[in-house]
Amino acid sequence: MFERAPAIGGAAVSDRDLWPGYTLSTASYVCSLLDPWLVEELDLHAHGLEYYRKDPYAFTPLLDGRSLLLGSDAAANAREIAAFDSRDVAGLEAYVGRTDRLGRALFDSFSDDDPRFDRFDAESQALLRGSAADLVERYVSTPALQAELVNDGLIGTYLGPRDPGTGYVLAHHLAGRLLGTQGSWAYVRGGMGSVSQALAASARSYGAELFCDAAVTRVIRDDAGRACGVEAGGTVSARAVVSNAHPKTTFLELGEPAALDAAFCAKLEGWKSVGPSLKINLALGELPDFTCRPGKNPQPHHRATIHVAPTVDYLQKAYESARRSGESDEPLIECFLQTPTDPSLAPPGKHILSIFAQYFPYDRAGGWTPAKRESAADKVVASLARYAPNLPGAIERRQVLAPPDLESKFGLIGGHIFHGELLPGQIYEDRFATRTPVPGLYLCGSGAHPGGCVSGFPGKRAATAVLRDLAR
């Protein structure tokens, strides 16, 4: 395995070198879609993988002093929701029932040999093609609850909650079964790089050799056009070549575009991969002290994903203002404090806050400059500070990764966190297939079905295809 970066893991990486004493989940930071079958098959627990349910899972502070905290305790959830609208207690239950069914259907389809969107029943297809807001608003009416629920439909996606297709993104984020409960998300001990490290250890135990600082510069093809090796410093011959680089990198940079047929080139050309996401990692001297739930000592809401999103319309405006002016006036923010769950990631008494914010698109008018990157991060911090006024003063270090940084650091073309939008037109039969037009070359990254998130599915599909093809 050849990785051009100094460490393996791509966007699932823990960085221990940036700030002494801190371990950062530089890009991805929570896990749900990882295939439990792979965890067992590759014995990832024996190779160091540990994860915990994120509980409580969601916290939405509001400026009027109220807040919404949801977790695994149904009675506590009911009390939280009833403080807004008691009808939404049953509404949320019905919503979870419906999205569990959707999520299960997606999960089952992730391993299909021949993935097809039209295998979903008509009602599910309509929900997946529709907007996240339509799906959520059928069931609940509390604005903060609606906003918290639609948020998963927007992650990585350059659309607003009222735009068609975000229903699919929402269901995709509820497809995971890692914890045995449909749709719940986990914190991975040691940060997200622990997933990659466990996979690497498992691979090595079977004899794999892994090389870092080893960029592949070309996929070599034999006279018959079959992929038969790579150039990575030297030449390495192989019976099969498997790439999790972005499809554009795989075919346009490392392959021979002239040898591809026109339809495939047109698909690469038209592939939507403009990312709107900004990742900010902060080292904090103290925990955020939320006006609505005061205190700097660790409390349950400090362990949840924290959402800045009071209403669905707030999120739609965040998207629309970015389309108009290049960035959101008031951005979507979700963030997660790793240290209340895993204090080993920071020096004693210090904390890490992973912030994921939208919409700050790769292709913003006037382009990105260092000053724009910092002012975008300032805007995000100021927005959070309206809810936790001590935050700006608590920041001791800050890492800001705008979409062009995600591109240069991780090879995410266009800064898109999923190697391209996960929207109808780019999912199932319309995503890139595992087997490519180049015999012997396979895609095993998120450009292939079922797309992004730390899931292992594209890799499992590629491994299965290679084994079957080589056995022929």
Ligand X SMILES: Cc1cc2nc3c(=O)[nH]c(=O)nc-3n(C[C@H](O)[C@H](O)[C@H](O)COP(=O)(O)OP(=O)(O)OC[C@H]3O[C@@H](n4cnc5c(N)ncnc54)[C@H](O)[C@@H]3O)c2cc1C
- Please report, as residue ranges, which positions from 419 to 458 form the binding site for ligand X (by CB under 6 A): 419, 445-446, 452-454
- Which amino acid belongs to residue 86? S
Closer residue to ligand X in complex, CB, 190/411: 411
Q: CA-to-CA distance for 105 and 127, rounded, in angstroms?
A: 13
Minimum distance from CB of 211 to ligand X (Å)?
9
Site string for ligand X, 271-310 (x = CB under 6 A): ------x-x-------------------------------
With CB under 6 A as the rule, give the number of residues binding ligand X: 34
- Please report, as residue ranges, which positions from 30 to 49 form the binding site for ligand X (by CB under 6 A): 30-31, 33
Tokens at residue 243, please? 């790439």
Tokens at residue 338, please? 């790793």
Q: Residue 400: beta bridge partners? A: 280
Minimum distance from CB of 190 to ligand X (Å)?
15
Beta-carbon neighbour count of residue 396 at 10 Å? 14
Minimum distance from CB of 453 to ligand X (Å)?
4
Minimum distance from CB of 406 to ligand X (Å)?
5
Q: Does 414 bind ligand X (CB under 6 A)?
A: no
Phi and psi, residue 165, nearest 5°: 100, -25
Tell me the CA end-to-end span of the chain in Å, nearest whole number. 24
Tokens at residue 414, please? 């266009």
Contact pick of 24, 27, 199, 308 for ligand X (by CB under 6 A)? 27
Closer residue to ligand X in complex, CB, 10/331: 10
Minimum distance from CB of 244 to ligand X (Å)?
4
Q: Does 144 bind ligand X (CB under 6 A)?
A: no
Pairing status of strand 241-243 against strand 278-284:
unpaired
Closer residue to ligand X in complex, CB, 81/406: 406
Contact pick of 19, 22, 29, 251 for ligand X (by CB under 6 A)? 29
Closer residue to ligand X in complex, CB, 111/125: 111
Residue with tokens 């002290």: 289
Contact pick of 290, 418, 442, 457 for ligand X (by CB under 6 A)? 418
Minimum distance from CB of 354 to ligand X (Å)?
8
Q: CA-to-CA distance for 349 and 352, rounded, in angstroms?
A: 11
Assign 55 to helix, strand or coil: coil
Within 280-429, where are the H helices?
Answer: 312-325, 370-385, 391-394, 403-410
Pairing status of strand 218-221 against strand 332-337:
unpaired
Tokens at residue 161, please? 């909650």
Closer residue to ligand X in complex, CB, 142/151: 151
Minimum distance from CB of 280 to ligand X (Å)?
10
Assign 139 to helix, strand or coil: coil
Assign 269 to helix, strand or coil: helix
Q: CA-to-CA distance for 244 and 458, rounded, in angstroms?
A: 9
Continuous segment of H or E residues that includes residue 334: strand 332-337
Q: Does 412 bind ligand X (CB under 6 A)?
A: yes
Closer residue to ligand X in complex, CB, 245/337: 245
Residue nearest to ligand X (CB): 10
Closer residue to ligand X in complex, CB, 73/374: 374
Q: Does 10 bind ligand X (CB under 6 A)?
A: yes
Assign 283 to helix, strand or coil: strand
Q: Does 388 bind ligand X (CB under 6 A)?
A: no
- Please report, as residue ranges, which positions from 349 to 368 form the binding site for ligand X (by CB under 6 A): 356
Closer residue to ligand X in complex, CB, 88/342: 342
The answer to whether residues 327 and 360 touch, using CB atoms and an 8 Å cutoff, is yes
Closer residue to ligand X in complex, CB, 200/417: 417
Closer residue to ligand X in complex, CB, 81/376: 376
Q: Residue 229: beta bridge partners? A: 220, 237
Closer residue to ligand X in complex, CB, 103/445: 445
Beta-carbon neighbour count of residue 451 at 10 Å? 28
- Which amino acid belongs to residue 404? P
Pairing status of strand 305-308 against strand 395-401:
unpaired
Buried b (16+ CB within 10 A) or exposed e, 6-42: ebbbbbbbbbeeebeebbbbbbbbbbbbbbeebbeeb
Region binding ligand X by CB under 6 A among candidate stretches 10-18, 47-55, 362-370, 423-431: 10-18
Site string for ligand X, 181-220 (x = CB under 6 A): ----------------------------------xx----
- Please report, as residue ranges, which positions from 233 to 272 form the binding site for ligand X (by CB under 6 A): 244-245, 249, 254
Q: By CB under 6 A, name the binding residues for ligand X.
A: 2-5, 10-12, 27-31, 33, 215-216, 244-245, 249, 254, 277, 279, 356, 406, 410-412, 417-419, 445-446, 452-454
